[in-house]
Structure 1
Amino acid sequence: MRLFLLACLAVVPIIAQATVYRWVDENGKVHYSDKPTSNAEIVTLKENTHNKVTVPKAIDYEKDVTAQEAEVAVDYKLSIISPEQEATIRDNDGNVDIVATTQPKPPKSALYTLYMDGKLVGEAQHNAVFNLKNIDRGTHQFEVKMITQSGKVLASSSPRTVFLHRARVGNVQKAPKAKS
């Protein structure tokens, strides 16, 4: 059985190199075939007419993964630069701006997330400046995290405590006056 298979495989290249015949019929139409006819002539094909298939260079996924891991292996330092630790912010609208910085320069694909009192605030974004609106008065703790597209944490800032003072929240209704 193996000998038969080997013989068949040896014949395949010979068949693939079949001779091509060309002839013109009585109407002047040119025909090509692999079977000879009475007025056919053998066509010799030029080297540049043969199909050449080149296989594209294989992608080395392990190398790509190693490059991504090397990117993750960098020891990033993330810190909140504004507001200062235990800063008191007086804003009647409850607006707070959180600004963080990263050393060394983060990868372009890095995202930043903000946590207020342990809960994620908003969605991940490409810059480390967060503008919060209508935050309740009181003591709040903020933390910024730099993450990859897949959600892996690259760096975290240390928690920053901030005190927010608001003169009033919403419309405060006055008690009705007593009738005398």
Structure 2
Amino acid sequence: MIGSLLRALGLALPLVALPAAAEIYTYTDSQGNRVFTDQPHKGATRVPLTPSNRMSANPHGQAPKPSVSKTTPRPGPIFHYQMVRVLVPDPDATVRSAEGNLIVSVTSEPGLQAGHGYRLLLDGKPTREAGTSPVFALENIDRGTHQLAVEILDEHGRIAERTANQPFHMVRMSLSQKRQAKPCQLADYGQRPECPLADKPKEEESSILPFL
């Protein structure tokens, strides 16, 4: 009986000797090795420890609340359109504009679905964020050949449809060319960019002397 009691006390003593909350320190020794110890050491820093999983997570005896999954539902399959194309300009069209401006119109069949948007690409780069308007106003396009394409993005930002590249040719007329195509009239000076006021011809003075 006494022997059993002594053995029980012997097993309990090491548990009593353990600190309630052990501290762990770390430092680098002279050989450059990282050392971890439970004894304070000069130049050592304390390592923060997470609570042990043996500690009660509910000290007041209340029943733990069931965890609620907050996973985002996976998006459904992509909706596909029967047809998407650029209406204006026509394929391989030549556009003449002194300012390099162009109006682009697109269409789809069926019509744009809820949450979807058109995005126009000029030479492979988006001209603006996707939107519901099928009309795009482009400005200051460089002279030369360019490529247009249109994409439809769904509500998750996925590309539902995309057209092939469609070429067009921008011809930016000079002011002199515009004056040749449509000569300036007196009323045009100061009104048309190619007809500045400085170029307005002086009105001929009347050769009839005023009556004295």
TM-score by length of 1: 0.52
CA distance in 1, matches of 2:151, 2:81: 14
- The reply to whether residue 134 of structure 1 matches residue 143 of structure 2 is no
Q: Does 1:95 align with 2:124?
A: no
Contact 2:87 2:106 in 1 (8 A): yes
Query: How many aligned residue pairs are there?
Result: 104
Residue 112 of structure 1 aligns with an amino acid whose one-letter code is Y
Using the alignment, how far apart are the partners of 2:105 and 2:126 within structure 1? 16
Partner of 1:116: 122
Check if 1:148 corresponds to 2:151.
no
Deviation at 1:105, TM superposition (A): 1.8
The question of whether the paired residues in 2 share the 8 Å contact of 1:82 and 1:100 is answered with yes
**How far apart, in 1, do the equivalents of 2:113 and 2:105 lie?**
18
Q: Could you tell me whether the CA contact under 8 Å between 1:76 and 1:154 is conserved in 2?
A: no
What is the rounded CA distance, in whole Å, between the counterparts of 2:102 and 2:116 in structure 1? 23
- Superposition deviation, residue 150 in structure 1: 2.2
Trace 1:21-170 onto structure 2 (pairs within 5 A): 68-69=76-77, 72-168=78-174
- The Cα shift of 1:93 comes to 1.0
- Quickly say closer, same or farther: Cα 1:151–1:76, change in 2 above 3 A: farther
Shift of 1:145: 0.3
Q: Matches of 1:113 and 1:93 in 2, distance apart?
A: 23
Distance in structure 2 (CA, Å) of the matches to 1:83 and 1:165: 14
Q: What is the distance in 2 between the residues matched to 1:131 and 1:111?
A: 16
Structure 1 consecutive aligned stretches of length 4 or more whose deviation exceeds 2 Å: 72-76
Instruction: Encode CA deviations 1:119-150: one digit per residue, 9 max, x unaligned.
Output: 11122211121110111111100000000132
Q: Whose strand proportion is higher, 1 or 2?
A: 1
Q: Secondary structure at the match of 2:130?
A: strand
Counterparts of 2:138 and 2:120 in 1: how far apart (Å)? 10
Q: Which letter does structure 1 place at the counterpart of 2:151?
A: K
Q: Give unmatched runs, 5+ long, in structure 2.
A: 1-71, 176-212
1:83-132 per-residue CA deviation (whole Å, 9 max, x = no partner) reads 00110000101111111100012212111111111111122211121110
Amino acid at match of 1:119: K
Identity among equivalent positions (%) equals: 28
Which ranges of structure 1 fall in alignment gaps of 5 or more residues? 1-60, 170-180
Q: Quickly say closer, same or farther: Cα 1:74–1:115, change in 2 above 3 A.
A: closer
CA deviation profile, 1:6-56 (whole Å, cap 9, x unmatched): xxxxxxxxxxxxxxxxxxxxxxxxxxxxxxxxxxxxxxxxxxxxxxxxxxx
**Bigger relative contact order (CA 8 A; separation at least 6):** 1
Q: Whose radius of gyration is greater, 1 or 2?
A: 2
CA RMSD of aligned residues (A): 2.1
